[in-house]
Amino acid sequence: MDQDVALGVAFAVTQADLGLLREDLRLGAYPVVYRVHRMQQGGGYGDQERHPFAWGVLVYVEGQLARINSARGAGREWNDLDRVERWLRVQGFSYWWTRNDLEEVGLGAASGDETSDRAAPPEAVELPVQPAFAPGKFSLK
């Protein structure tokens, strides 16, 4: 996936790996919820022309980015942020970053002008810096 390469995703982990990574103090405190091109069909959104995007989750493992994959090896996808939030809380995360590099911003012009200038996408794709990895630094509840 080109987007994962651009973001610097080093590898993938599954939901089942998260508990062990947290227990071993290898899991960062702030996952990243990000917009992805939808690969899975389902959830009532089978028309990929009308619904081309989904949400994916990246976690930091020892300071490197890892994508959350399903047990079958495909990237986990959610169709709405409310479901991602519930999933993250169940997994023990209280904080996360959200980014959307795939959809245009500024579509609702205050003046009603349909041709208003839209923000140009950033040239370089950078994620927020994860706090430095240090075993025992994060408090686990």
User: Does residue 141 surpass a pLDDT of 90?
Assistant: no
Spatial CB neighbours of 99, under 8 Å, sequence gap ≥ 6: 32, 33, 34, 35, 127
Is the pLDDT higher at 62 or at 45? 62
The two most distant CA atoms of the chain are separated, in Å, by 54
pTM for the model stands at 0.72
Quote the pLDDT of residue 32: 96
Average of per-residue pLDDT values in the chain? 80
Closest CA to 3 of 82, 90, 129, 101: 101
Spatial CB neighbours of 86, under 8 Å, sequence gap ≥ 6: none
With beta carbons less than 8 A apart as the criterion, state whether 121 and 101 touch: yes
pLDDT tens-place string over residues 37-53: 987 766 555 566 777 89
Closest CA to 52 of 69, 77, 70: 77
pLDDT tens-place string over residues 114-124: 444 445 555 55
Share of the chain above pLDDT 70, in %: 68
With beta carbons less than 8 A apart as the criterion, state whether 41 and 97 touch: no
